Structure formats: C-alpha cells, structure tokens
Amino acid sequence: MRLLVAIATAAAVISGSAAHAAETVKVGLIANFTGAFAVYGSQFQQAIQAYQALHGNTVKGPAGEQISIEFVNRDATSAGPAKAKQLAEELVLRDRVKFLAGFDLTPHALAVADIANEAKVPVIIMNAATASVTRASPFYVRLSMTVPQYAGPMAEWAYKNGVRKVFTVVSDFGPGYDAETFFIKAFKAAGGEIVGSIRTPMNESNFSIYMEKMLNAKPDAVYMMQPGGSTSIAFLKAFNERGLKAAGIKLMAGGETSAVYLKKFNDDVIGTLSAFPYTASNSTPENKKMRAQLVKMFGEDAIPDVASAAAWDGTHLIYRAVAALGAKAEGSKYVDFMKGQKLESPRGPIMIDPEEREIVQNIYIRRVERRDGRLVNIDLETLPMVKDPWKLENPPKSN
C-alpha cells in the first residue's frame, strides 16, 4: 500500500512538473522575409535564433516554473500594411501570441496599433524608425532607433567639420520626412545652407535624374535617407557612377552603409559618412558574443546590422519580462515592466525610456574604410545616450 501511495505521489509530481514545463509564451514575428525588403526578416530571425541558441528557449518564471519562449514567424512579403495587419490578427486570434515583434517598416508597425490596443498585446518594434510610432499605442516598445536620433547629430557633426552647403534627398515616407526635417533643422541652426531637397518614391531604383539635379546644385555634401536594401544600394551606386564623388561632393547617410550592405559595393563607397546607433565592427562584449554565434550558426556571410541588434535586445527584454512576471501576465504589465529597463546591447548601453517606451542609446559618427580586406564602418565619434529629439520637442498631450 505504501508503495502504491509513493508511486501515485511520484506520478502526481511528474505530472505537475510536466504541466509547468509545458507552459509556452508565443511571440509573433512579423517581417518581410521575401520581396524588396527581405533582408530585415533574415536579420531578425538569425539574431533571435542565435540568442536562443546561447540562452536556451526557456526561462524560469517567478515561481520557479519553466516557461518556453516560442517565436512564430510570418512573412509580410513586402506587400504593405494591410498584409501586416492581417498577419497580426491571425497571430493574436488563432495562435494566441502574448507578444508581437519585428516590424521592419513604419507603415507595417502603424497598421497593427488597433489590434495591440484591443487585444492588449505588447508590440516590440525591431526596426520601424519614424519618431511618432510609439505614440500610436501604449503597447509599443521600441528597441531599434528613431531617425531624428541620428539625423540631427549627423548635421551638427558635418557643420563642425567644414560642410557648409548640403542637398538632401529622402524617401517619400515617414522616416524620410523625419530625416529631412531634423537634418535641415540642425544644419540651419548650426549656420549651414540647404541648396536643394528631393523626396523620392519609396521603391525607387533609378536615381539618375536626381543625381543630375544634385550635381548641378554644387553642394559640399549630399545627405540621404533611403530604405535599407535594394533602394539604398541603387542610390549609393548611382552617386558614384554619376560622378558626384569625383566632383568632391561628400555623401552622408544613416544605416544605408551598414555592414550587411557593404558587401554589395566596391571601393567607390570608401569615405561615405554616416551617423547610426550600431557599428558591426565595434568591440563591445555583447557584440562579440552575437557576431561569434551568428558566424557559428550561419557562416561568415551572417553580418549583423542594427536590425540584428534590435532583435537580439528585443528577445532579451521579452525573456526578462516573462521571467519576472510569468506566462500569464496582462500585456500592460509586461509593458510597465519594460519601462526603464537597462540592457548591455551589442551596440553599447541602452535604456527604455520610462515615459515614452522609446530606446535611449549611443549614436556613432562613422566612415566607410577598407580594413583587413573588407569594407567596414569605423567609428569616428561617440555621442552618449541620445534621446529621441522629436519626443522632446513634442511632449504627450495631457488629457
């Protein structure tokens, strides 16, 4: 009889342990895995897989329970915001995800605000960079950047280093408007002159006519903002092929010269300046760890960029929130926990602003150089823990 009781007790313990181990938190990852912006989906996915390979796919909850973290990937196919919204609805209603994540483009991020609000699901922004995005929903937490965070610093640095006349050319969407506005504002405030401004279609691939206008304006430098990928690659190639570099015009950018794109260029891109929150060649301990794991899992061509760093950090933040609050917390509780969190990121120290759910981080002024046979960005200057200036200028409206 004692043996039967012991067996029954052991079975109950095992059953209870299995129940604890079976708890799963699903994260719906929405990104472009195919189409013109497919690089983002790949960067997100590889960084998340690398993080989970190093840290496991479970966390210990507040009561000691084991909680599995499972990412459910969905391809937005570069099809626009309606597709992103459809995928978010399916993930929330059918897959019962506790978090949404990814969102490479601003229109995709904005498209799911109503779903986040109604379902009370935290949304971890891993790329979309229009400054106003996090105001769309109290459930948005951004781990990437805002364009004003690096556009203004680029303008200020350029003027301090002898640039007096600039022509701006940006993509005709939210981040482009932010880049144009904050670069021009900072450059004029420093004493510089804007000799021309152009907005180009978001999927533009032929920049020849724009290059002629820039060349004729005779600026000291061109400041560009284009979506990373085929569009920005086409712009940088046209800049060199149409003779602007040969004419002594400097090129200034943001993430368009990220290491993941540099392998598409020859030495014509050397000297391109940029301001950005992540440099793949930096030597922070977390960056070394991430890069080594990416190479181990995906080979030498697995080159990280800011989307990789944001996906790595976003995964870290989700793990930390679930460990603290468990698998069944309300979405607003997860968001409240994330406010004010500080992380050591592959890009350096970061913090989630407790008021705006916005990332605060270093901005690096970089220049493209060839080192050890490879084109890389080299940091020239570090601007520590920069807040989003758009939100400083546009405080939330009180009720």
The alpha carbon dihedral of 247, 248, 253, 255 has a sign of positive
Contact predicate 236/203, CB 8 Å? no
Residue closest to 366 by CA, chosen among 266, 304, 276: 276
Distance linking the first and last C-alpha atoms of the chain? 68
Residue closest to 102 by CA, chosen among 133, 135, 124: 124
pLDDT tens for the chain, 399 residues: list them. Answer: 343 333 234 334 434 444 444 599 999 999 999 988 888 999 999 999 999 999 999 999 999 999 999 999 999 998 889 999 999 999 999 999 999 999 999 999 999 999 999 999 999 999 999 999 999 999 999 999 999 999 999 999 999 999 999 999 999 988 899 999 999 999 999 999 999 999 999 889 899 999 999 999 999 999 999 987 788 889 999 999 999 999 999 999 999 999 888 888 889 899 999 999 999 999 999 999 999 999 999 998 899 999 999 999 999 999 999 999 999 999 999 999 999 999 999 999 999 999 999 999 999 999 999 999 999 999 999 999 999 999 999 988 754
pLDDT of 171: 94
Rounded Cα gap, residues 207 and 398, in angstroms: 44
Tell me which amino acid residue 37 is.
Answer: F
Rounded Cα gap, residues 146 and 159, in angstroms: 22
* Domain architecture of the chain: domains with CATH: 2-145+282-357 (3.40.50.2300), 148-276+364-393 (3.40.50.2300)
Residue closest to 204 by CA, chosen among 233, 174, 244: 233
**Can you say how many angstroms the Cα of residue 32 is from the centroid of all Cα atoms in its chain?**
13
Residue 209 exposed, middle or buried by CB count within 10 Å (0-12, 13-18, 19+): exposed
pTM for the full predicted model: 0.89
Rounded Cα gap, residues 389 and 306, in angstroms: 19
Tell me which amino acid residue 128 is.
Answer: A
